[in-house]
Amino acid sequence: MSHPGQMWGGRFRGTLDPMFAEFQKSLPSDHVLAFADLETNLAWSEALAAAGVFTDAELDRVRTAIDALAEHWAEHGVPVEDPAEDVHSLVERELTDRIGDLGKRMHTGRSRNDQVATDLRLYLRERIHGLLDGITDLCASLVQKAEAHADAPMPGYTHLQRAQPITIGHHALAHVEALARDRERLVDAFHRMDRCPLGSGALAGTTLAIDRDALAQALGFTGGPTRNSLDATAARDHLCELAFASAMVMTHLSRLAEDYIFFASQEARFLAFGDAVSTGSSLMPQKRNPDAMELVRGKAGRVLGALMALLATVKGLPMAYNRDLQSDKETLLPALLETEACLMVAAMAVRNADFDVERCAEQAERGYLNATDLADLLVQHGVPFRDAHGIVGAAVNRAVELGVELQDLPAGEAKRLLPQLDVDLKTALAAGAILRRRDVIGGTAPDRVRDEVERWQILMGEWSSHEADGLEDHDADEDHAAGDDDGHDHD
């Protein structure tokens, strides 16, 4: 007698230890693959019919049963606490209840190894679309901020020390650049995983005359079928790649969050977060805490950890499938969902952040941010830059002693320290003048910032359609399946 209800129980007579049975069960996490699993079951059944294993009438019964089960789960949800071992067992049992032995025959020539590999790629396609949409939304919020503040000065920083004036718009677009690279990474990862493992069997391929090209096309894989059955069932580098792309997104979100948290501090007071994304203190009535951005910054660690966990899981596995891989999905999928949520929250926080333009402009004139421009003025008057650097350093020291900015040096001091110059320092070293001088591609000059805003608006108009990247929206119904992670497969 085989293990009751187990797909693999033919050789076994005893029963699993209850504790181990619970330990190895994955349905609570891999139920999110339920609709993708129905999709692979239908495509495989069509391939079986084309190979002469199913009759047209049997295929019609299978199709009707799958449609009915999908409709039922769409309305009632996938049962997370079901006794089934995993989502594949659940689907097979439910279909067998509806169409009898035909539901069991659907597994002909197929393994859970190639089945879950295919399910997961289908599900990941939808998650990538969600991440791309999140990046687009956040970038749109930042571009709007840049458009509104293209010419608004603020202090720029290196080493968290005031360095040179920039515009608020230039700062916003810096984060857009980073996020756009993240988007490119996700699109590249999509194309590399856009191949169909179904038909690879457990590790050696199927014995049936399956048209794998047609099977891949039926499931929407534009890259065709995978070319090696061992690799198809064992490969998880596409998961690691998505984990890295997500970790990089979260690293960039954390950097954006850190900037905005500092800008909102009482010490900086460059911006204030609105009520929609702030909370207060249960003790201190005056507090307005930047909780949205702090949570984004904090959650980055979990996503970075998922990348390391995946790499550690796959680093020593022999070909082909090993049960260690059960943990790949429950590691990756929460990280993808976390990243998607953080993108939405970060966009919300940016939209609800109001810059104090007057204070930013005032502070852009303080802290000797114009020292480099003063050195450049000396260079224009024939002083070698290295000498000009030393001359300006001495002028800064004297300004600090007098408690004034460089542009406010008394006339006598300015003539003594800077005899090479005969210019109005207030005009030449004003923040607006400094910004206008950076009139090169990539510079912070307001006109350049406006040009970049226009360029990004055009690019994001193209982003709005995934087809522009060669990514076709997929009709998988994964959104019907509640849950944050995924789990189990083996043969």
3-state secondary structure (DSSP) of residue 156: strand
List, in sequence order, every residue forming a beta bridge with 166; answer none if it has no partner: 154
- Residues 336, 149: Cα–Cα separation, whole Å: 32
Torsion, Cα 454 455 460 465, to 10 degrees, reads 120
The pair of structure tokens assigned to 222 is 């534009």
Q: Which of 337, 330, 435 is nearest to 30 (CA)?
A: 330
Report, as residue numbers or ranges, the catalytic residues. Answer: 159, 281
CA-based Rg of the chain, rounded to a whole angstrom?
A: 30
- Residues 435, 443: Cα–Cα separation, whole Å: 8
Residue 206 CB contacts under 8 Å (≥ 6 apart), including other chains: 109, 110, 199, 200
The pair of structure tokens assigned to 275 is 């009520």
- Identify each DSSP E strand in 105-257 by its residue range: 153-158, 161-167
Let me know: does 288 contact 280? Beta carbons within 8 Å.
yes
The enclosing H or E element of 272 equals strand 271-273
Locus of tokens 């129905």: 38
